[in-house]
Structures are given as C-alpha cells and as structure tokens.
Chain A
Amino acid sequence: MNKRTVLVVDDEAHVVRVLRLMLEREGYAVDCAADGNAALAAMAEHRPDAMVSDIQMAGMDGRALCRAARERYPDEPFLILVMTSMTAADERGWVRELANVEFLEKPLSPRRLAARLAAHFGGAAAAAEETPCTPTR
C-alpha cells in the first residue's frame, strides 16, 4: 500500500528532524524543504498529500508558498497546515482566501499534528487509498 506523503517546510533544522521522526513513525513518507522555493521544487517532483509549513523563512515565506501552491495546482488542494506564532487577526486573514489551509499554533505539538493529519485522512492515516493523482513511492 502506498504511504501518504507529508512535505515539511521549515528553516529550523531541529523542527524538521523531530517532525520527520514522528511522522515516519506514524507511517507517513516525509519530504523536507528549508524554504518556499525548495518546497515548490519538491512539489513539482512529487505532489504531497499534506504540507506542514512555517511562515517566517528566508527567501519565499510560508504565506507566499501557500499562495503559489494553490495557483500552480488549483485542482489538487491538498491540506496545508501552517505553523504560526502570530496572534493578530490581520496577520491570519489571508488563510481564509485559500482553500484547505489551516493554522497550527506554536509551540507545535507533534502529537497534535499527528492527530490532525489522522482526522484529515479519515483515520487510515498512513495508508493511501486509490489516489490517481499521486505518484507511487
């Protein structure tokens, strides 16, 4: 059975490491990128089933990455979870303009992330059903 793929995007190496370890233990395949441009390149090679991204990164930030992902792949609105410490309403409004994008509050709990992904994928978290658009790994 094909594993679902989660793309983790963060310039903080420790965050990427812990999320990779936890998600792989939950049965996901994990791709990693350190900024928005690297994430788009990874997406072009292999479209993820979900993406977890930080906002503030050098180069292309998380906000620009989310917009670019929706513009490039409008028919594949995979779940995007954005890690944020910004609490002001005017800094969060942009998410409502995009389909299937949600906030995850920092400090991030890997367990909470796993639960959110499991809920999104309908309980069978790691096992992908027939997904004609997702290439095999």
Chain B
Amino acid sequence: MTNKRIGLTLAFSALAAVALVLGLLARRMALAPEPGFAALLALAVLAPAALAALVIRRELGPLAALGEQWRDAGERPGRGPHALAVVLGRRLGQSQQRIVELERAAVASLAEGRLLKYDSNKLQAVLQCLPDGLLVLDPAGELAFATGKIEPLLGVAAGDVLAQPLEQWCEDAELRALLARFRAAGPDSRRPQAIEFNPCRVPDKRLWASAQPLQAAGGELAYGTLVVLRDATREHLARQAANDFVAHVSHELKSPLNVIGMYGEVLADAAADPALRVEAVNVIQDEVERMNSLVNNLLNVNKLEMGSMRPERHRVKLDDLLRDALRQAQPRADSKGVRLELQVPRDVAAVAVDKDLFRIALNNLLNNAIKYNQRGGSVTLAAEETDSGVVIAVRDTGIGMAPEDRARVLEKFFRVRETGPEQRGGHGLGLYLANQIVELHHARLEIESELGSGSVFSIHLEKMPALAEGANVL
C-alpha cells in the first residue's frame, strides 16, 4: 500500500470517528433521536468537504510543485538574478515546447480520426453501391451488417433486421440451411458454398447466394460469415427458355421424321397400293420441305435473338421486290391449287428496307396465306400509298382465325389448333419471324381476320422522300 493510500485511509477513518462523536453529542443534547442517524447526518456534511479538499489539492498539485521549483531556483546558493532568469527561461521554453508537442499530437489525432471516419464512410458507400446484396453474420449468427440491396432481393429492409438472429427474420429454409453449415464446426464451415433459391417474400425472383467464412489474414481471427446475394432471375429464365426451346425444336423435327419414316415403310412394302405409294412420295416431299423451312426459320430466329440480325436498309423499288416474292411463292401455291395475284402500282413510293430480310418476312407471310388456304382459293399481294407511308398487304381467302388466336398468332411457337380434316403442320415460327423483321425496320404488322373467311396481314412502312436525279436505287 502506498503512503498516499495510507494517508487517505487514515483520513476517512478519522472523518468517520468525528462523525460518530458528533452524533453522540447531538443525541446527548437531544438534537437527534438515534446516534446512527446523527452519525450519518454528520458524515453527509463532512464527506463532501473532505472530498473537495482532496480534489483541490490534486488539481493544484502541479502548480504547487512549480512553486516549489521556483522557490528552489531562487534559494539555491550562488545564483544571482541573471542565473535565475536563465533557468526560468529554460524551463518556460521546455514547457512551451511540451505544450506545442501536445497540441500537435492532439491535431494529428483529430486528423487521423477524421481520416478514419472518411475512409469508413467511403467504404460504406462502395459497399452500398455494389449491385449484389451483402450480409455479414457475426459468430453468434446475428446480422452485423447488411447493404440496402438486400431489400429488393429478400424483401426485408436492412435496418429492420440488423442485430437479429437469422431465424428471426429469414424465412428462406434453403438460405438458413446454407448458413447453418457455417455455424457448425466441420469441413463445410471452412470453404465457400453457393445455392440458388426462390425467396419467399419475392417469389418471382431467383437468387444465387454464396456464403464463406469471414476471417482476418492468416485465419486467426474469425469475424463471422459473409453472404453475397445476386439476382439470377434472368439467367434462370434464359436457361428455362433454352431448355424449352430445345425440347420444342426436338419435337418439331421428330414429328416430320416420324411421318417420313412411316411413309418410308409404306414405300418399302411391295404389297402397298400404287395410289398409296404416290401419296407416300408426296407426303415425304412435303415433310422434307417442312423440316427445311423449320431449320431456316430457326437459324433466322437464332440470329435475331443473338442480335446479329442487323438490317442494312437501302432504298428499294417496292414493285420489283413484291413481284420477286410472288414468283418465289408460285410453285408452292400451284401445288396447293391456290391462285396468286399482285396489286402494286408501278409508281408506288420507294421504301428503305433490308432486301434480304424483307424477302424472308414476305415469304413467310405468303407461305402462311397459302398454307391456311383451300384449294381454289386465292392470295393477293398488294401495296398502296397512304399519307404517312406505304402499306403492304397479304390477303387470303383461307380458314381465318378466331379472335383469341389472332391475339397470339405472332408469338413464338404458337400454332392455331386445327380441328378440320386437313392438318397444315405449321411450327409457329414463320409469323413470329416476319413480325420481328418488320419491327427491326421500325414498321408494324397488323392483322385482320375472320374465322372461315380469311385474313389480311398488313405491313405499315414509312415511305422515303423522292430521290434526286442520279441517285442509286436497289
């Protein structure tokens, strides 16, 4: 025990004794009923005074010591006023230097604190800007940190769930199971793991979540678990669409192959009726053409969806383009007993189109009009100028469509359900592709149709201004 503490102890003991004596005296003088009460009262008065004396002595201690030094300097033998002044000057200089050092240290400490705060705020801003959601769970499993991005992903606001255990706010069983592996000691808790799941609160999303232990370099200090959440909805839908596409295409290709195989057996059957053999040859040819058309449309659709179908628009004389399209469709129309007509004025305005792409669109519209027509029917390809542009129309006298089919007929793979005896065997890509090509040209495709009467598919294009003399036209 130090001298100082012995002194303090003795002082307080003396104080208590004085308080007791005063209490007894007070009782004796009938000033207080109980000696204990009186002692306490006296202590309550004396104790603050003693405490104040101690504090004052402590605060004045350095000054008292300085005073001692001054007195000491003045009383040292052999020192005149000049020597005294030198000593005092030196001590003042040291004191000032010390004060300056302390001030500098304080300023540096303040600056360092502000810099740390700035860096912390900057890091926070960086984390909040990340496109992925971040969660940090402490070793006890409570949420220690979360970025605002978790709200659109998980459907919970970061501020609402901080410092809460996972089980209290996380409704996603897959996510809880993933994080439970990190709380349990074992090989799973030491390496990153990832899952995909549909969050309960945002069911139309598909999330990818990766969790890994959050440790200091060297691995001595474990801060908890870091979870990264990413919106994987687009990738998931793309995978699903790709799988559906492959399944659909596989079916579309195997169907004509099935028919070709069966009619092939008919041809190989020596006992088959000659008329049946002729039918077999015709059907096989039709199915081969159907497969060829499907493959071509698939390739074009793929180019379109990959973004590699970029129209190169040039000024084109419309009547030549439409005549050419009709010529291409003639053999098919002849085989179906359908009449083709052209109604295009020679002086119809020119349009700016990609000739090759536009041919595909016209070809698909004409094939559709022929396919869904009846023997003896007709298909008319017409063009006329309007105030705002040029309208190209494909009119047929075919089977037409019900309103609910008309609303969907431009969808990819949509096929009108055929109930009649003749099955036309479309595969739902021709009109979809035609519409996409029309839209690439910043034009629009309109449909009018009546079940049992026929349909009109109209392409509305902008016309080009009149050319200057000598300009090139394709």
Which A residues have a C-beta under 8 Å from some C-beta of B?
Answer: 11-15, 18-19, 21, 34, 56, 58-59, 83, 85-86, 106-111
B13-21, B136-144, B251-259, B358-366 - the one binding chain A:
B251-259
Which B residues have a C-beta under 8 Å from some C-beta of A?
Answer: 247, 250-251, 254-255, 257-263, 265-266, 276, 283, 287, 415, 417-419, 421-423, 425
A65 to B251, CA, bound (A): 19
Q: Closest chain A residue to B284 by CB distance?
A: A14
Q: Closest chain A residue to B263 by CB distance?
A: A18
- The 8 A-B pairs of least Cβ separation, nearest first, read A107-B261, A85-B254, A13-B423, A18-B262, A107-B258, A58-B417, A14-B259, A106-B258
In the complex, how many angstroms separate the beta carbon of B240 from the nearest chain A beta carbon? 15
Q: Can you list 21 A-B contacts (CB < 8 A)?
A: A11-B418, A11-B423, A13-B421, A14-B262, A14-B423, A15-B259, A18-B263, A18-B265, A18-B266, A19-B262, A21-B266, A21-B276, A58-B417, A85-B251, A86-B247, A106-B254, A107-B258, A108-B261, A109-B261, A109-B262, A109-B265
Q: Is the CB of A12 within 8 A of B423?
A: yes
Chain A residues, CB < 8 A from B418: 11
Q: Closest chain A residue to B416 by CB distance?
A: A58
Main secondary structure of the interface of A (DSSP, over half): loop
In the complex, how many angstroms separate the beta carbon of A15 from the nearest chain B beta carbon? 6
A15 to B283, CA, bound (A): 11
A109 to B257, CA, bound (A): 11
Given A59-B417, A85-B254, verify A12-B259 contact (CB < 8 Å): yes
A56 to B148, CA, bound (A): 46
A14 to B263, CA, bound (A): 9
Contacts A85-B258, A108-B258 known; 6 new A-B pairs at CB < 8 A: A14-B287, A15-B259, A19-B262, A59-B417, A107-B260, A110-B266
Q: Which of B255, B265, B419, B421 contacts A12 (CB 8 A)?
A: B255
In the complex, how many angstroms separate the beta carbon of A85 from the nearest chain B beta carbon? 4
Q: Closest chain B residue to A21 by CB distance?
A: B276
A107 to B263, CA, bound (A): 11
A59 to B266, CA, bound (A): 30
Chain A residues, CB < 8 A from B276: 21
Q: Is the CB of B265 within 8 A of A15?
A: no
Q: Closest chain B residue to A112 by CB distance?
A: B265
A125 to B260, CA, bound (A): 26
Give the most central of A12, A18, A19, A109: most B CB within 10 Å: A18
Q: Is the CB of A107 within 8 A of B254?
A: yes
Chain B residues, CB < 8 A from A110: 262, 265-266
In the complex, how many angstroms separate the beta carbon of B86 from the nearest chain A beta carbon? 101
